[in-house]
Amino acid sequence: MTASDLISDLVSPAKTSDTGEELLTMMGVYHLRHLPIVNNKELLGVISEDEILSQDVDAAVGSYPLSMRRPFVEMHTNIIDMMRIMSEYNLTAVPVIDHNNVFTGMVLQEDIVKYFGQSATFTQPGSVIIVEVNRQDYSLHEITRIIEHESAAIIGMLIFEHFNPNSIRVILKLNTKNLKHILAGLQRYEYIVEASFSEYEVIDSFQDRYDSLMNYLNV
């Protein structure tokens, strides 16, 4: 999945002749806090709701100073790097340019959330295990072997930095709801199991969090 696959056909970029008030209205309609500013297909930068509110909202945005110059992704940028850019700049919409640096559209935060919400990691039934692993001892091969030894499979995985700089947190989505022997196997190999969730708890939890996030984006 790349940026070209997720370009929104709903929202138009801001023009330098648009007023701040017009952009605030557009942001309100599409539940955004950012919009790219484009002049003849040239990406000038990204403007935020806060920047508009700090200026004269009746003036054309072309007269505004832009603190967030040109965060963007390219057509072939993968979804992980898109999320990194959006997180780095705290964007609700990221501009997309082609190989000639021409603005081609934007990817919305909401569409990325929907894409992941429809992935097998969230939609397939199963269970979740959260494991703490020493950074230097981390081995996906060993974790997979332990799980597959109990006739289960990993259908999704996330890795996060732990508050302990020497550790990482690994979140595993499995295709089984029977975790007894898998948990015993992980603990036998001295993995610290922080938490585990059954099939029904996982479905309810993911659905509740997904619904809450979508409600937040629609505020």
84-98 pLDDT per residue, tens: 999 999 999 999 999
Encode burial over 156-190: b for 16+ CB neighbours within 10 A, e otherwise: beeeeebeeeebbbbbbbbbbeebeebeebbeeee
142-164 pLDDT per residue, tens: 999 999 999 999 999 989 887 78
Residue 58's CB is within 10 A of a number of other CB atoms, namely 9
Domain limits, the chain: 3-111, 121-214
CATH architecture type of domain 3-111 = Roll (3.10)
AA identity, residue 112: I
Q: DSSP letters of 171-182?
A: EEEES-S--HHH
- The domain made up of 121-214 is a member of CATH 3.30.70.260: yes
AA identity, residue 217: L
- pTM equals 0.71
88-144 pLDDT per residue, tens: 999 999 999 998 889 999 999 999 988 888 876 777 888 999 999 999 889 999 999
Residue 67's pLDDT band, with cuts at 50, 70 and 90, is: confident
Scan for tokens 């979740």, then name that residue.
Answer: 128
For residue 137, list its beta bridge partners: none
